[in-house]
Structure 1
Amino acid sequence: MKKLLNQVERVELEMLQGIAKAHPQYLKKLPDYNVLVRAQPKTDKVALVSGGGSGHEPAHGGFVGTGMLDAAVAGAVFTSPTPDQVEAAIREVATPAGVLLVVKNYTGDIMNFEMAAEMAEMDGIKCMTVVTNDDVAVQDSLYTTGRRGVAGTIFVHKIAGAKAEQGASLEEVQAVAQKVVDNVRTMGAALSPCTVPAAGKPGFEIGEDEMEVGIGIHGEPGTHKEKIMSANDITDHLLGKILADIDYTGHEVAVLVNGAGATPLMELYIINNRVADVLAEKGIKVYKTLVGNYMTSLEMAGFSISLLRLDDELRALLDAPADTPAYKA
């Protein structure tokens, strides 16, 4: 294993310090917590707090800024942040309008964010939650009961963040976040595993001529292993599962082709070329496309495809201004 780090136990801390030093105009790190918050807080709107395990960069700290998140909480690599970290984030950014927690559907994340919200509410901070569960690959996994929350969460950050920035109520921001959850689906595949620094060895084994279909963002198993396919064939397989889950016919969609960390942009654009062609053949109009690393899995080679079914409200919020280190509109 080769990794550029100092001490394993300081990986998350030094990463967050590095992000804050790289983007001081956007965010700052709380002194005693692994939490990034907006450098210039806005106190007249609903605050958005999200987070999860480290190792998914630029998620989640890269999306702190105007029009998206007000705070991002970073747990240890692939590990849920603790309730005290989440509570610190809530208290730091809470406004009279309330706080929306965007939580991916992993058992530890849900439990710890709920505990933090309960502690904050005891002091009069109004909190609501939305849980993302966009992965169509598996119904249950090592980390979840029900579908996993994966890269489609980025659309929730963007659209709910835009709604909050416009001055909507907490109930309205929660409602539009839930609308995104109801209309976004994702599936991914991996060509290689990743290595958690503290473990020192790959999280799973895969043959040189194999791929894992339906992989999760923590390297947890998908639906099956099989021989590596062409880019078009694996794209067709993933899209087929997504399109079978929601009827996108006659709708405009937003597309996210998300890299898992070690996949070249060249390959992601080859994937997107096929995605666009398949959707066009099916009469599904692509309104906006995002290609790149948005929610990664350390150095895993692989990708996921997310489709968001749009209506007039979601389209306008997707286009609304955003200015963060990792996302600008």
Structure 2
Amino acid sequence: MSDSSKNKIMINQNKLLIVFGGIALAVFVVIVIWWNQKKIIDINGSSLVSPSVVDKMGIITGTKCTNGDGRLFSVMMPSDPETRPLSGIAQADMVFEMPVTPGGITRMMAVFQCEQPEKIGSIRSAREDFIPLAAGLKSIYAHWGGERSALTRLNAGVLDNLDALTNKGGAFYRAAGIKAPHNGFTSYERLANASELLKYEPKNSFAGYPHDDKKPNRNLSNLVDGIDIDFDTIYDVKWTYNPESNTYSRSRGGRPEIDKNNNQTVTASVVAVVHTTWTPLAGQYINVRVSGVGALEVYQNGVIITGTWQKATAVDSKLFFYDHEGKEIKFTPGKIWVEIAAK
């Protein structure tokens, strides 16, 4: 073989080495970038898994939630028969229900984080005894006006709130074809946009609730398949356990509770019954005690857990749920309803 032929072969080999070397370097760079996105190394050398790799969890539900670090919205909703079915109620992560009159007429506060309904309502007025519950969740409180004492506290800045009477940020609207006052609605997107315009903190700061997906042993001492909440007759609530889905289906006034948005039956993984007292207010309303200590039953996995609820007097203190041994109850993952039975 001539010297010129040998030189050509060597040149071609060098070119191939350069090409393959370039490909190998490119692959290495891609791997490094991917690895750095997957893990973040802190100053101590330990690895922290990036949120883009691990799914976020809902602080209320304990289930996968793309908005797991988003701040909660607590929205006032009615129980009036004329407003049924409600829109968005089945999509709430947590719902509080309590009487607002001596006769047992109830009102609800639906809490949203993970699911973001396109329609929520109708919307109702603020009540003073719901304010500590909303504040305890570090949430943004959404309402349509309110009783005088409640508005006084809200206007004093006790917690971030969105009021449809002033409608700053345009969160609320009147739906056509529905008679007032039952035609007030909002959406998750509207609430979020209005909160941004008002410069409210968008990130969650509530500690959340502990969860455990292990099912306990069911026996005759703790087995409960139905829960009855005695409000006024047309407001009476019944929850029925479904072992196949491990959830409780809600009915009200003898009829299944349906969400108007999707025609789905309202269900919950956990139903907590909080026992407390109320005192009369001027006029036809009552004030329900939501701070202090009281008896509690928690229903989940088809069984009952007895214990106590506790909330400090600070308006933004967390509402705790303890078992009979004084340990914080770990909820089964899923939606939570808190039924406040006041006498």
| TM-score clears 0.5 | no
For the pair shown, the structure with the greater C-alpha radius of gyration is 2
Under a length normalisation based on structure 1, what TM-score does the superposition of the two structures give?
0.28
Under a length normalisation based on structure 2, what TM-score does the superposition of the two structures give?
0.27
Structure with the largest fraction of strand: 2
Structure with the largest fraction of helix: 1
